[in-house]
Amino acid sequence: MSKIEQTLSIIKPDAVERKLEGEIKEMFKNNGFVILKEKKIQIEKNEAEKFYKVHEAKPFYNDLCDYLSSGPIVVMVLEKENAVLGNRNLMGATNPKDAKEGTIRKKYGISIDKNSVHGSDSVENAKIEIDFFFSN
Ligand code: CDP
Ligand code: MG
The predicted pLDDT at position 47 comes to 98
- Using the predicted structure, report yes or no on whether residue 136 has a pLDDT greater than 90: no
Q: Which domain holds residue 19?
A: 4-79+90-134
Instruction: Give a yes or no: residue 69 inside a domain.
Output: yes
pLDDT tier for residue 93 given thresholds of 50, 70 and 90: very high
Enclosing H/E stretch for 127: helix 123-134
How many domains is the chain built from?
Answer: 1
What CATH number is given to the structural domain containing 100? 3.30.70.141
How is 32-53 classified by DSSP, letter by letter? T-EEEEEEEE---HHHHHHHTG
* Predicted local distance difference test score (pLDDT) of residue 110: 98
Q: Considering 118, 119, 120, 133, which one is annotated as catalytic?
A: 118
Residue 126 belongs to some domain of the structure: yes
**Could you tell me the sign of the dihedral formed by the alpha carbons of 129, 121, 75, 1, in that order?**
negative
Nearest one of 8, 14, 35, 34 to 133, comparing CA atoms: 8
User: What is the per-residue pLDDT for 1?
Assistant: 61
Q: Residue 84 domain-assigned? A: no
pLDDT digits (tens, 9 = 90+) for 23-57: 999 999 999 999 999 999 999 999 999 999 999 99
Is 55 annotated in the active site? no
Residue 111, pLDDT above cutoff 80: yes
Whether residue 64 has its Cβ less than 6 Å from ligand 1: yes
Q: Does residue 46 form part of some domain?
A: yes
DSSP H helix total and E strand total for the chain: 7, 4
pLDDT score for 78: 99
* CB 21 less than 6 A from any atom of ligand 1: no
54 CA: nearest ligand 1 atom? 8
Domain for residue 85, yes or no?
Answer: no
Residue 2 pLDDT level (bands cut at 50, 70, 90): confident
pLDDT reported for residue 72: 98
